Amino acid sequence: MKTKKLLSPVTLAILIGGIAITSAFRPNTPDGSGCQIYSSSNNFKGEGGQASSCGSPGELGTCSRSGCHASGAIPAGLPDNTGPGSVTLTAVPALTGNQFIPGQVYNITVTVAQTGIKRFGFGCEILDNSGSTNGHINNTAGTITVTDHVNTRTWCAYGTGRCSMTHDTNGGFALNTYSFHFNWTAPSAAYVYDSVNIYLCGNACNNNLKADSADDVYSKHIILTKNLTGIANLQANTLGLNIYPVPASRQLTVSFSLPEENKVTARLYAIDGKMVKELENGTIAGGNFSQTYSIDGIAKGMYFLNVTAGTTVETKKIIIE
């Protein structure tokens, strides 16, 4: 009788792809900030996104540095943002005018795109405005939270508080473009700085499992400032948004209250930030409002209902089954 030979730990550690080799015994323990700690000694080229690789103050650069994807390394080739693709960051609610509302939870979507590519990865850090060049201190602004435990992870370099949100092992598999999702809770009204810095890096990989192999890297530095009007609206909670049933099936009832007549939109968004259905768009009289809408035909899954009344914005998560 033939016996099956078990795969060795080394064999198990090798997975497919330019962003996808991982150790089966990689440490994975939470630190005090709620991030996951991954040992840098176990990092291979494809293990997943690397902490401290977003071009933030005090870091070695972005993913294009030598020994990593290295599109900007000599003689590997192109520096950041010279390839034919792009990296973008969008949010629900929208970060209109590059402003954030303290305490607001934002559903963040990072999209990396390049025609003909099938492997994508990213790294993102949202830092305070201290200007610190010490990557070992806790200067993450607000809180980043994993919502997609398959494709993303939080990683604090060396077990410190400067946390990165990155792709997890294997990155994004899709032709031409891939979107990653996570939540960011903006810092509270007590936040001592006037702005927040987003350092963003996206990789479009050629899938050859080699470092310094001229993968295209795209990076951005986005500065957000406080929305003082939004602070007042968020604290006043003037809408009192409620939705039911939870989970929903074929119908969804939305209720809220308005202090005065206002233009109102109610839109349903998928987790990738794309609008699925507009439920309401018109002027509504002041007072209590309740309306039942058909959601028949919308695929099962998690969605976000975004209601905007003037400058007041509220978002709630819903499940359709």
Q: Return the top range by mean pLDDT from 154-163, 181-190, 232-241, 264-273.
A: 181-190
* 235 phi, psi to nearest 5 deg: -70, -35
Residue type, 287: G
Q: How confident is the model at residue 26 (pLDDT cuts 50, 70, 90)?
A: very low
C-alpha span between 280 and 263 (Å, rounded): 10
Q: Cβ distance 202 to 215 under 8 Å?
A: no
Q: Cβ distance 139 to 128 under 8 Å?
A: yes
Architecture of the domain defined by 26-227: Sandwich (2.60)
pLDDT higher than 50, residue 243: yes
Q: Cβ distance 287 to 320 under 8 Å?
A: no
User: Residue 238: its pLDDT value, please?
Assistant: 63
- CA 224 vs. chain centroid, Å, equals 16
Q: Produce one character per residue of 229-239: b if its CB has 16 or more CB atoms within 10 Å, e if not.
A: ebbebbeeebb
C-alpha span between 103 and 142 (Å, rounded): 8
Q: Cβ distance 58 to 51 under 8 Å?
A: no
* 245 phi, psi to nearest 5 deg: -75, 165
Q: Give the mean pLDDT of 46-74.
A: 76
User: Residue 84: its pLDDT value, please?
Assistant: 92
User: Residue 253: its pLDDT value, please?
Assistant: 94
pLDDT higher than 60, residue 213: yes
pLDDT higher than 50, residue 293: yes
Q: How confident is the model at residue 315 (pLDDT cuts 50, 70, 90)?
A: confident
User: Residue 182: its pLDDT value, please?
Assistant: 93
Residues of the chain with CATH 2.60.40.2360: 237-320
User: Residue 114: its pLDDT value, please?
Assistant: 95
Fill in the DSSP letter of residue 8. Answer: P
- Give 102-154 pLDDT, tens digit per residue: 888 899 999 999 999 988 999 999 999 888 888 777 788 998 988 888 899 88
Dihedral sign for Cα 315, 317, 31, 40, please. negative
**228: enclosing H helix or E strand:** helix 228-236
Q: Name which of 3-12, 159-168, 184-193 the model is least confident about.
A: 3-12
Q: Produce one character per residue of 22-39: b if its CB has 16 or more CB atoms within 10 Å, e if not.
A: bbeebeeeebebebbbbe
From the CB of residue 286, how many other CB atoms can be counted at a distance below 10 Å?
Answer: 11
Q: Cβ distance 319 to 246 under 8 Å?
A: yes
Residues of the chain with CATH 2.60.40.4060: 26-227
pLDDT higher than 90, residue 218: yes
CATH class of 237-320: mainly beta
pLDDT higher than 90, residue 251: yes
